[in-house]
Amino acid sequence: MSTVATSQIKLTPEHARPRATVRSRLQDALPKIVLAPSFAITVIFVYGFILWTIYLSFTNSKTFPSYAITGPRAYQRLWGWTFDTDPPSSWYTSITNMGIFGFLYILICLALGLFLAILLDQKIRGEGVLRPIYLYPMALSFIVTGVAWKWFLDPGLGLEQTLHQWGWTSFHFDWIKNKDFVIYTVVIAGVWQASGFIMAMFLAGLRGIDGEIMKAAQIDGATTFQLYRRIVIPLLRPIFLSAFIVLAHLAIKSYDLVVALTSGGPGGSAWLPSNFMYEYTFKRNEMAVGSASAVIMLMTIVAIIVPYLYSELREKSR
């Protein structure tokens, strides 16, 4: 880069007149030339590929892509399978799981994150030690988290066995092997990983609140509970929104955690739509159905993210 720039500088005095226009035009266009590759890459590999996936979802592709449009058959098949068909629809399992996982994961992370942030904000000694402890799981990959929790929740090796040894022999906890409860173990591991980060977001928000408002409320005789309920939590609304966006985004993209923690669960009972997409596209040779599920995932994200991004960008430019 630098060599180009310096050689141009040296050339200018000698070739001042004839080169001036070319050079200045180049200089004018240079910013765009620099940005162009990244922009082109984004347009092709993000938006082009999205269109490609949408196209595939309207074809009859199985193991290999086929490019003859056959209409929305893939979507009909996707939604046509129900719990009553044989085998029962993994798509409905996936979206039911998504509902359970998404709801609990977001709710518990928000609640726990806020709770921990409020506790940590009470002028705690050793905050510098506690905060990193709450936050470190975010640095781990979902695979490592899954491996650790798989071990911890295993009935024969982990928590259950430990409590048995301590004398609580009636304790029974086999959710990770139970097809009706396995998705809740994904919630536990997911909350463990992300709640510390949500705590950090809320803590940053709490630290940003003007101390004068708090003092004024205290002088007016507000109890601590009232203070938080009526004043602090409403002031944290923007943080709730950002945290919700982050969590919703993480929840919809969760894929690795299910794989590492449950290997999909008994009979695919822990699948999320992301797992469904992967399995159908790459393992069951149902490319069109896999693409259709990817399109539905994308639409869900779009519905959540686009209004948010739009308002953020508009606010910034105002």
Partner 1 sequence: MSTVATPARLPSSGVNVKTVNRVVIYGLLALFALFYLMPLFVMLVTSFKTMDEIQNGNMLSLPKAPTFDPWLKAWGETCVGLTCAGIKGYFWNSIKMVVPAVIISTLLGALNGYVLTKWRFRGHTLVFGLMLFACFIPFQSVLLPMATILGSVGRFGASLRNSVGTSFGLGNSTVNLVFVHVVYGIGFTTLFFRNYYEAFPTELVRAAQVDGASFFQIFRRIMLPNSMPIFVVTVIYQFTNIWNDFLFASAYAGTGDSMPMTVALNNVVNTSTGVVEYNVNMAAAMIAALPTLLVYVLAGRYFVRGLMAGAVKG
Q: Is 120 in the site for partner 1 (CB under 8 A)?
A: yes
Q: Is 155 in the site for partner 1 (CB under 8 A)?
A: no
Closer residue to partner 1, CB minimum distance, 37 or 211: 37
What span, in angstroms and rounded, lies between the C-alpha atoms of 261 and 273? 16
Minimal distance in Å, beta carbon 213 to partner 1? 20
What span, in angstroms and rounded, lies between the C-alpha atoms of 122 and 130? 13
- Interacting residue with partner 1 among 117, 186, 243, 270 (CB under 8 A): 243
Here's the x/- map for partner 1, 254-283, by CB under 8 A: it reads as: -xx--xx--x---------xx--xx--xx-
Map the footprint of partner 1 across residues 37-76, applying CB under 8 A. 37-39, 41-43, 45-50, 52-53, 56, 65
Minimal distance in Å, beta carbon 271 to partner 1? 13
- Token code pair at residue 210: 């003007």
In contact, 288 and 74? CB cutoff 8 Å:
yes
Closer residue to partner 1, CB minimum distance, 87 or 128: 128
Here's the x/- map for partner 1, 189-218, by CB under 8 A: it reads as: ---x---xx--xx--x--------------
Q: Is 27 in the site for partner 1 (CB under 8 A)?
A: yes
Distance of CA 297 to the CA centre of its chain: 12
Site size toward partner 1, by CB under 8 A: 102
Minimal distance in Å, beta carbon 88 to partner 1? 22
Q: Is 97 in the site for partner 1 (CB under 8 A)?
A: no
Closer residue to partner 1, CB minimum distance, 83 or 167: 167
Task: HSE, CB side, 13 Å, CA atoms: give it for residue 167.
Answer: 0
Closer residue to partner 1, CB minimum distance, 82 or 119: 119
Q: Is 137 in the site for partner 1 (CB under 8 A)?
A: yes
